[in-house]
Amino acid sequence: MATEGANGVEINGASAEKKAVVFTAVKPQLFVESSKASDAVAFYKAAFGAEELNRVSHPKRKADQELPLLLSAEIKLGSTSILISDLSDDSTAPVKTASSGLVFCLETEDVEAAVDMAVKAGAVADGEISEGEGTCCGGRVGKVKDPYGIVWVICTPAKKFANVEA
């Protein structure tokens, strides 16, 4: 795989001028413990008002199990698509990743309402809503953890980065 570029792509540091690779979509895909993906989709609808765009179940699993293995459900949150999938042995899903950490930042004008909605849907508030100091927004910031272990930072984009130097 690490051979000469079949398409003549040559990268030198940050420049990729020679042949631009264009990404038409970037979609985070979250794997949750099987078979909780369907529950997770329902949760994200209730907690964040996500819209389900499509859902693909594993065709072979349907005959064997009552709960079909969810290969992926695509939900839309704001203008972003997020894929939710059951983690399984026979899929192309990765093993548990050991990444240092991930949160999703949700920008909204009404942090209180958003946190409230998420908590009523089953998320757990992590601390009080406060004036943030920068990690992803500079305005009001609330934080919730969902039942699947994902942390969502809910914040206002106003005055972002006003208190730190660029």
Which residue's CB is nearer to its own copies, number 28 or number 65?
A: 28
Interface mask (CB under 8 A) for its own copies, residues 38-77, using x and -? ----x--xxxxx----xxxxxx-----------xx----x
3-class secondary-structure state, position 118: helix
Residues in 76-105 that interact with its own copies by CB under 8 A? 77-80, 82-83, 85, 87, 91-105
Distance CA 139, CA 110 (A): 11
Residues contacting 162, CB < 8 A, separation 6+: 138
- We find the least distance from the C-beta atom of residue 128 to its own copies, in angstroms, to be 7
Distance CA 148, CA 127 (A): 18
- We find the least distance from the C-beta atom of residue 54 to its own copies, in angstroms, to be 6
Distance CA 154, CA 31 (A): 21
Interface mask (CB under 8 A) for its own copies, residues 147-166, using x and -? -xxxx-x---x---x--xxx
